[in-house]
C-alpha cells in the first residue's frame, strides 16, 4: 500500500465486488455509462508484476463486473483494457483493468 496512491486509498463504500486480491469500483471519469475498474489490492505498477493467482483473481472479478453491467446497463459490447506503463497511456501507476461498455449498433 502506498499512501499517495489513489487506488490504495479507495473508500470501501465505492467497492462493488472484491476478493482476496482485487476489487471493482466505478471509474471516476467514465468513458461510457457503466465503466468499471478491476484493481489489484497489491500495489504494483502494472498487471504484469502480479502473480498468476493475483491475475486470476482479477479475471474472476472482471467476469462478475461484466455480468453486473449487463444487468444494469445493457451494453452492446465491451472494451477490456490494460494499460501498462506511461507510454501505453497508464495514468495511475497501480495495476488495474478497465471494463468499458459500448452502446449502439
Integer Cα distance of 45 and 96 in angstroms: 9
> Is there a catalytic annotation at residue 73?
no
Residues 6+ apart with CB under 8 A from 101: 32, 33, 34, 35, 69, 73, 75, 77, 78
Catalytic residue among 21, 35, 94, 96: 96
Burial track 1-14 (b if 16+ CB lie within 10 A, e otherwise): eeeeeebeeeeeee
Q: For residues 62 and 80, is the Cβ–Cβ distance under 8 A?
A: yes
Just list the catalytic residues.
Answer: 96
Amino acid at each position: 500500500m502506498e499512501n499517495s496512491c489513489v487506488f490504495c486509498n479507495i473508500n470501501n463504500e465505492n467497492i462493488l465486488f472484491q476478493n482476496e486480491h482485487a476489487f471493482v469500483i466505478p471509474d471516476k471519469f467514465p468513458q461510457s455509462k457503466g465503466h468499471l475498474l478491476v484493481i489489484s489490492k497489491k500495489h504494483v505498477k502494472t498487471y504484469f508484476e502480479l502473480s498468476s493467482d493475483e491475475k486470476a483473481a482479477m479475471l474472476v472479478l472482471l467476469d462478475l463486473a461484466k455480468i453486473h453491467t449487463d444487468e444494469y446497463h445493457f451494453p452492446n459490447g465491451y472494451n477490456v483494457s490494460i494499460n501498462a506503463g506511461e507510454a501505453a497511456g497508464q495514468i495511475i501507476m497501480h495495476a488495474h483493468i478497465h471494463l468499458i461498455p459500448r452502446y449502439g449498433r
